[in-house]
Amino acid sequence: MNSKVYDKAYQFAIRIVNAYKHLYQEKKEFVLSKQLLRSGTSIGANIAEANGAISVIRF
């Protein structure tokens, strides 16, 4: 399922991973970079979970 929300979340996750790599390798910031990675990449999982929770009510 492709949508603008999924595409934007994917592009955001790519940018987060690149920021993580920069912080981890060049700045030696381990704790902050790991938290940034976890929170920034969880957006896609939250979108998928929300879409799975949508139900159709039929009368």
Any idea which fold 4-46 has? de novo design (two linked rop proteins) (1.20.1440)
Write out the chain's pLDDT in tens, 59 residues: 568 999 999 999 999 999 999 999 999 999 999 999 999 999 999 998 988 887 777 87
pLDDT at 51: 84
pLDDT at 21: 96
Cβ atoms 36, 23 nearer than 8 A = yes
Whether this model's pTM surpasses 0.75: yes
Burial class of 9 by CB neighbour count within 10 A (0 to 12, 13 to 18, 19+)? buried
- Domain spans in the chain, listed from the N-terminal domain onward: 4-46
pLDDT at 1: 57
